[in-house]
Amino acid sequence: MDDVFKALADASRRALLDRLHARNGQTLTDLCDGLAMTRQAVTKHLAILEAANLVATVRHGREKLHYLNPVPIHQIGERWIRKFERGRLAALGELKRKLEERDE
């Protein structure tokens, strides 16, 4: 789970996931296209995404196809974000109240 959060912390990596979301199964050079980064930098980002299980790859001859795995993202939504949504309105009300105590 920590791997996933860490992987998602970087904007370049989120952009790569966005690209795969737009078009799945791209090669490394596809994914490099138009980015202000060397291929090696992208390779490293993809390795981190792969380690976090956010991306799966298939070798196909000399190219490597990258596929988005949405499961870990979904799990963060389920296991982590939802927790904070329960009691969200209550927390907000309390927060507002306490912030206004300032002016008393």
Partner DNA sequence: TTGACATGCAACCATTTGGTTGCCTATTAT
Partner DNA sequence: ATAATAGGCAACCAAATGGTTGCATGTCAA
Q: Which residues in this chain contact a second copy in the complex, by CB under 8 A?
A: 2, 5-6, 8-9, 11, 14, 17, 21, 24-25, 56, 58, 60, 65, 67-71, 73-74, 76-77, 80-85, 87-88, 91-92, 94-95, 98-99, 101-102
Nearest distance in Å: CB 98, a second copy = 5
**Binding to DNA by residue 14, rule CB under 7 A?**
no
34, interface contact from DNA, a second copy, none, CB < 5-8 Å by kind? none
Residue 53 φ/ψ region, left for φ over 0, alpha for ψ in the -120 to 50 degree band, beta for the rest: left
Q: Which residues are CB-contacts of 68 (< 8 A; sequence separation ≥ 6)?
A: 17, 20, 21, 24, 54, 55
Interaction residues for DNA, span 71-90 (CB under 7 A): none
If DSSP codes are grouped into helix, strand and coil, which group holds residue 35?
coil
Q: How far is the CB of 70 from a second copy (least distance, A)?
A: 5
Classify 25 in phi/psi space as left (phi over 0), alpha (psi -120 to 50) or beta: left
